[in-house]
Amino acid sequence: MGSGGGGLVWATAEDLTRNRGRVLSLYRQILRCLNSPELPLGGLAARLAKKAEVRTIFMLGSEERSLHNIADLVDAAEYSLSFLKKGRLP
C-alpha cells in the first residue's frame, strides 16, 4: 500500500507476474496487427516507426508499479488493439 493515504496501491512481484502473460499477449498482437495491409500506413518505414513507438510505450510501461496505472495501460492497449483489428490507427 502507498503511504500517506495518496490512494496508490503498489504492485507486488506476484501482481506483476500475474499480468505478464496478458501484457506480452497484447504486445505481440499489436505488433502483428501493425503488419496488416489494411492499415493506412505509408510504407515499410512508417510501419517500423509505429512498431518502435509501441516497443517504447511497452518498455516504459514495464517500469510502472501502481496497480491503477498498470490497469489503465492494459485498458489502453486493449482499446488500441480493437482499433487495429478494424484496420484503423488508434
Segment 42-76, tens digit of pLDDT: 899 999 999 999 999 999 999 999 999 999 999 99
pLDDT number for residue 3: 46
Does 10 fall in a domain? Answer: no
Residue 35 CA: distances (Å) to CA of 18, 61, 73, 89: 28, 22, 22, 12
pLDDT number for residue 18: 86
Instruction: Give the C-alpha separation, 35 to 24, whole Å.
Output: 17
Does 60 fall in a domain? Answer: yes
Does 24 fall in a domain? Answer: yes
Q: In the block, which residue shows the cell 483489428?
A: 85
Average pLDDT, the chain: 89
pLDDT number for residue 1: 42
Instruction: Give the C-alpha separation, 1 to 22, whole Å.
Output: 23
Q: How confident is the model at residue 16 (pLDDT cuts 50, 70, 90)?
A: confident
The structural domain count of the chain equals 1
Q: Which domain holds residue 49?
A: 16-85
Does 9 fall in a domain? Answer: no
Q: How confident is the model at residue 7 (pLDDT cuts 50, 70, 90)?
A: low
